[in-house]
Amino acid sequence: MSADVLVVGAGLAGMAAALEAAEAGASVLLAAAGGGSSGLAQGGIAAAVAPDDAPELHAADTLAAGAGLTDGAAAGLLTAEAAGAVAWLEACGAAFDREADGRPALGLEAAHSRARVLHAGGDASGAALVAALRGRLPGRVRTVEARLDALLLRGDRVAGARLSGRDVAAGAVVLATGGYAGRYPRSTTTSLCDGSGLLAALAAGAELADLEFVQFHPTAYAGPGRTFLLTEALRGAGAWLVDSAGRRFAFDADPRGELAPRAVVARAIAERLAAGEPAVFLDARHLGRERLAGRFPGFVARCRAVGLDPAAEPVPVAPTAHYTMGGIVTDLRGRTGVPGLLAAGECARTGVHGANRLASNSLLEAVVFGRLAGRAALAAAAPGPPAGVPLTAPAILPAGEEGAVLEAAAGPLRSAGGLREGLRRLGDPAARSLAGLLLRAALLREESRGAHVRTDRPGEDAAWAALEVVARRDAPDVFARPRTAGRIAAAV
């Protein structure tokens, strides 16, 4: 089996890349072991389409949320392409929610200065967009259900991948394997998002950066039963965060209260719980039963499944691993420093999210950068049928042990002592595991910035605004260097 372009991962980024590469004339194979996390997204896609909005305002909000680490060129590209991405999704069959007069129904979410979030199917946007793109694949893209074992190399060039024990030759490979929040035992994403694509890229010679920046969604259900996300749009619609006495404590941390950036709200909740507060809650009762049922049917159904009526009682919440800003270092076309290897979506680190992703920029990133990577892949493809030598991923500990260590040492609140203890628990053989790299990166970055909070280094350090923490195959440990987000010298 072979293809001009092999795309690994069937979420929004992978399907967008596959469709664009096919449109450019490539023979494309799309491989995935499950549907990834795109379909789980409740929030929508951010785009400056309102008369009072502009891409420049959206970019400014993206830069502000990123706490000084967002790459300006990446943010500018993302937001400039947003309206076009929405139009492309509609052309693919996506139906965004609209007001009675036909205008897009735009929601306000945390850290946005305008209502600019488009939804599809209420709070089931991810599933709706995934279904639309999946419907476009037949006749254009071949698909196979398979897991990524390793990338294949010919010399220093990626020449395919080993998929479920079978070697597949390709002129270029686009990784769209998702992030690594699924390694945490309590996560809003799927366990498929375990960082395996990152480790395969690292073994092939690509660089990883910003692994310490893990976004913890402030409002995940924290009662008995399975964890689930309480969408950001609930707070945008007016839901409150309250302590056990009913006090709206988020204003103690930021004048924007519940609508402060995710990292700020997550930190406020984590510090409240660490100080001994028995529980905190999302209170949506004042929104009314009819509005909740009409605008947030999924939220209502999930609450009822665990015995709660959100129209009559507040819902217990806590920060939970949700999204990862770190990943495979790429330029703004998805190209890595390894010839023939590209990456898009959450597994890529373009620099667009900095230290903290702006709400509803993730589906947008998947579509915009997925399409760009798909277009670039055909140009990056090597001619002829390549023959490769398989690379194996670095050895890792069982996910259960890694997860327990990550939850204890690298949660919303971190310290040098806790991170060192986590590394001790992992042991020397795990130094090159995803968890080991994350802990070492978090230990090296001696400051608090965005989603990375060090209780022993509570403030930002201006020197770190110009630096990134990098993992590389030929380096024995992670190291800091000047930031290169979006500006790598891609090898094509």
Catalytic residues: 262
Give the H or E element holding residue 157: strand 157-163
CB-count burial class (<10 Å; 0-12, 13-18, 19+) for 431: middle
- CA 473 – CA 487 distance, rounded (Å): 20
* 5 strand-pairing partners: 28, 172
* CB contact at 8 A, 126 and 38: yes
Task: Specify whether the CB–CB gap between 12 and 177 falls below 8 A.
Answer: no
The phi, psi pair for 152, rounded to 5°, reads -105, 140
Amino acid, res. 369: F
3-state secondary structure of 415: coil
At 102, which amino acid appears? G
Token reading at 383: 């001619």
Strands, E, within 1-73: which ranges?
A: 2-8, 28-32, 45-46
Residues 6+ positions from 270 with CB-CB distance below 8 Å: 216, 318, 319, 411, 412, 413, 453
Residue 208 tokens read as 């990883």
Specify the amino acid at residue 458: P
The answer to whether 145 and 166 have CB atoms below 8 angstroms apart is no
**Closest by alpha carbon to 232, among 346, 362, 128?**
362
Q: How many CB atoms lie within 10 A of CB 148?
A: 23
Token digits of residue 218: 């402030």
* CA pair distance 199, 180, nearest whole angstrom: 10
Q: Is 137 helix (H, G, I), strand (E, B) or coil?
A: coil
